[in-house]
A and B are shown apart, each in its own frame.
Chain A
Amino acid sequence: MAQVEAAGGGLKVHAGRGPGRLYSEVMPPVLVFVLVAAGWEAVVRLQNIPPYLLPAPSAVALRLWADGPALIAEGVYTLLEALLGFGLGSAAAVFVGATMARWQLLERSLYPLAVLVKVTPVVTVAPLFIIWFGFGLLPKVLIAALITFFPVLVNAVTGLKAVEPAALEFFESVGASNWEIFLKLRFPASLPYLFAAFRVSVVLGLIGAVVAEWLGAERGLGRAVLLANQNLDMAGLFAGVFLLALCGVGLTGLIRIWERQLLFWHETYLTTEELTERGKP
């Protein structure tokens, strides 16, 4: 699934909006996916690999078909945890980032700490959250929020400061207040940075929710995957992982659509023609 994303990103500049795009962009990764699945199926069947070690893709597909509705219900629950966490964490990060960008002292004292925590696998504090907040929805949301928070915060602080000096001078020269500078200049200018963080942290939020479920949960895909593992039900495990992958793709896809709508003016979304025509008389 990751390859589909990467190929899409890299080819975007060349890909037109014509019908050729289906073949140039979608077909190669689909073909690779099918080939890998076929090879996997062949190896499992020819080598007689026992299903408690590695299930055949066909067995996973059958399990998905049979348990689909139940698994999807669990998936919706996990998605809810991840999205609530992502929303909460991102909103908090943008708020704290804006406060930091406004008060230098706060930034100087807290930002290095934030960078440090950003590179720490914060998911390791998840057991603590289970102790503090129990087995329900809340600890999952909070862990997803925590894991989302720091990448968004670091990019928010960078993005809020990434304004053209002349644009800032213009705002000052027409008597804009700090709030207006934030609302009409800094915040829109930070959106490309924010979305770069969103794309990463929306998936991190999903990971956070799954890991939190492993530590104790009554519902969710993470719990389903863990149970399947304990029962040596590898087909069930893979079915769960497959659905989680779909969740990840869906979440990043949603972020991309949103980004495309909001950031139509940003370089990443201009065609090659628009970029090369720039600056010509």
Chain B
Amino acid sequence: MTGPLVEVQGLTKGFESGAGYLLVLRDLTFRVGAGEFVAVVGPSGCGKTTLLRILAGLLPPSGGEVAVAGYDPRLARREKQVGFVFQTPALLPWRTVLENVRLALEINRVSRPALKPEDLLESMGLAEFADYYPHQLSGGMAQRVALARALVFDPKLLLMDEPFSALDELTRSAMRYELLRVWEQTRKTVIFVTHSIPEAVILADRVLVLSRRPAHLAGELIVDLPRPRTEDMEDSAHFREAVKWLKSRLRAAA
């Protein structure tokens, strides 16, 4: 846990759109330490996904400095330092669970990966579903497969873009603790974008609040709940206070 894994300094991003230049991110600065779990909340359409895509090296920044594990994000992506979980599982329906997890290895012609896809599935409680096809899985299981797929290169940084937003409330809650369980084992650096403030609080060490577009940092909260997190912490005074504070910050920022 030495030094920051992600460093964002004065990040600005704009797009040329039909209605002129659209500024999405404005002078954004933050750091994420190695092994830290950071949640990002903000109003809809404020540029959270754009931020993740820049960190993943899928979009170049318009201005400012971004470093992931000391690399330019595009290089970090090529070095397989970044895993990405999307809003939808985005599994290939014609491949089995195991074949979906193997996909990235196939593309990169890796025959002996650091993490064996079979072991990864095992640790996620999906071992017996290895030969299932995505259409035979529930939404929660499919998203777990997507998580396994993102971890297959054992990346240092895991980016998650509202990964549970398409699930029903009960599954969603179960998935949070499932993610925490996996995270406790690996202690990867996670940047987790969500719409749900309670979700951000129960998962994260620190919550960043973004303002509406063009997004800048409108607040930051350190969640002082012990690890491992449990469901009864959702009834604690600290949890309720944190949610209340974030809500007011978010309201002010929107």
- Please give the residue numbers on chain A whose beta carbons come within 8 Å of chain B beta carbons, in ascending order: 164, 166-167, 169-176, 180, 184-185, 188, 264-266, 270, 274, 277-281
Contact = CB atoms under 8 A, between A and B. Distances in A.
B93 A171 contact: no
A60 B138 CA distance: 56
B1 interface: no
Contacts of A173: 56-58, 77, 82, 84
Nearest to A181: B107
B170 interface: yes
B138 A279 contact: yes
Contacts of A180: 107
B139 A169 contact: no
Contacts of A167: 90-92
A247 B224 CA distance: 74
28 contacts: A164-B88, A166-B90, A167-B90, A169-B58, A169-B86, A170-B84, A170-B90, A173-B56, A173-B84, A174-B80, A174-B103, A174-B104, A174-B107, A174-B153, A175-B78, A176-B107, A184-B92, A184-B103, A188-B92, A265-B94, A265-B134, A266-B93, A274-B135, A277-B138, A278-B138, A278-B139, A280-B138, A281-B140
Contact of B174 (A164, A171, A175, A281): A281
A270 B91 CA distance: 17
Contact of A164 (B90, B138, B153): B90
Nearest to A172: B58
Give 8 nearest A-B pairs by CB, closest first.
A166-B90, A166-B86, A174-B104, A265-B93, A281-B171, A167-B90, A279-B139, A176-B107
Contacts of A164: 88, 90
Contact of A278 (B57, B135, B171): B135
Contacts of B86: 166, 169-170
Contacts of A281: 138-140, 167-168, 170-171, 174
B186 interface: no
Nearest to B56: A173
B124 to A, nearest CB: 15
A281 to B, nearest CB: 4
Nearest to A275: B135
Contacts of B138: 277-281
B27 to A, nearest CB: 26
Contacts of A264: 133
B94 A270 contact: no
A105 B104 CA distance: 30
B248 interface: no
B167 to A, nearest CB: 8
A185 B106 CA distance: 13
Interface string B42-82: 00000000000100111000000000000000000110101
Given A173-B77, A184-B103, A188-B92, A166 B135 contact: no
Contacts of A279: 138-139
B165 interface: no
Contact of B107 (A184, A265, A270, A278): A184
Interface string B79-117: 010101011101111100000000110111000000000
